[in-house]
Amino acid sequence: MANLHLEDVRSRRKIGILQMKIKLSLVLLLIVLYWSLLVPDDLLSQGLKGPNVLDAKVKSFLEKRRGTWTDLNVPERDGKLLYDLIVKNQYRKALEIGTSTGHSGIYIAWALSKTKGKLITIEIDKERHQRALANFAEAGLAEYIDARLADAHDLVKELRGPFDFVFCDADKEWYKQYFIDIYPKLEKGGCYTAHNVSPGSRGMAGGTRQFYDYVKSLPALKTTVDESGGGLSISYRLR
Ligand SMILES: C[S@@+](CC[C@H](N)C(=O)[O-])C[C@H]1O[C@@H](n2cnc3c(N)ncnc32)[C@H](O)[C@@H]1O
């Protein structure tokens, strides 16, 4: 009789433990479901506090430096265009030709911080390159940027790629040659952008005109131009 009672107590305890485990699993499942439904995707994929802190840092840097970019840097409007193109298409392997002091690089790298990508940017002028490095660090974006001090005429040929996003903003007379050197390394679906391309304006001549006529002539590219800022040609590689 005593043995039967003991068995009964033991099996009730086992059932109790089992019920507790099931309840605990259900609670955990509910927490995970709640989390994944309510927390935005970019927060989930990049860690909780990271993006908010980084966004705040980049925004405050850009705010502080607004109106002080005097080294042939892109206007804010074009920086935002570059940012949107990268985030919209989820590009991750970016190349910039012509870093200067880093205004466009900051927008590109900021976008890449969302897509978990990386930017290689090239500048020939040592002083500008060093100021760009300081700016990238101050904006909190250094880890997304590989800034090279080099002549892009040579380095562009040497880089292996592949790239899915390119921003060309250096010596205009070389625009077409940069494109010819990079095109085989541009992924299908990738995007090649170039600055100061304004086909509507009579001022567009020389290298930018040659470049634009060339990309427009290629059937594997779909090229449009956004002239809301300094003129940005946007060529998608279709195949
Ligand atoms: C229009 S600025 C770039 C502005 C930059 N994208 C920005 O928005 O901050 C052009 C830069 O290209 C650099 N550059 C010109 N020829 C170059 C070359 N062969 N290789 C690398 N950089 C070059 C210039 O020194 C200059 O800083």
Torsion, Cα of 36, 39, 42, 46 (10° steps): -80
pLDDT at 44: 45
CA distance linking residue 160 with residue 176, whole number of Å:
19
In CATH, what class is 50-237?
Answer: alpha beta
Q: Tens-of-pLDDT digits for all 239 residues of the chain?
A: 556 566 776 777 777 777 877 777 776 666 655 554 444 444 444 445 567 999 999 999 999 999 999 999 999 999 999 999 999 999 999 999 999 999 999 999 999 999 999 999 999 999 999 999 999 999 999 999 999 999 999 999 999 999 999 999 999 999 999 999 999 999 999 999 999 999 887 667 799 999 999 999 999 999 999 999 999 999 999 99
- Domain range summary for the chain, segments of one domain joined by +: 2-38, 50-237
pLDDT at 5: 65
Our answer on whether the CB atom of 166 is closer than 6 Å to any ligand 1 atom is no
Helix or strand (DSSP H, E) at 191: strand 186-195
Our answer on whether the CB atom of 230 is closer than 6 Å to any ligand 1 atom is no
Q: In 29-182, at which residue ranges do the beta strands (DSSP E only) sit?
A: 93-97, 118-123, 145-149, 163-168
The model carries a pTM of 0.82
Backbone conformation region of residue 100, classed left if phi is above 0, alpha if psi is from -120 to 50, else beta: left
pLDDT at 43: 46
Our answer on whether the CB atom of 234 is closer than 6 Å to any ligand 1 atom is no
Torsion, Cα of 109, 159, 85, 238 (10° steps): -160
CA 147 to ligand 1 centroid distance, Å: 12
| Burial of 65 per CB tally in 10 Å (0-12, 13-18, 19+) | middle
Our answer on whether the CB atom of 193 is closer than 6 Å to any ligand 1 atom is no
Residues in contact with 35: Cβ distance below 8 Å, sequence separation at least 6, in sequence order? 44
pLDDT at 2: 55
Our answer on whether the CB atom of 120 is closer than 6 Å to any ligand 1 atom is no
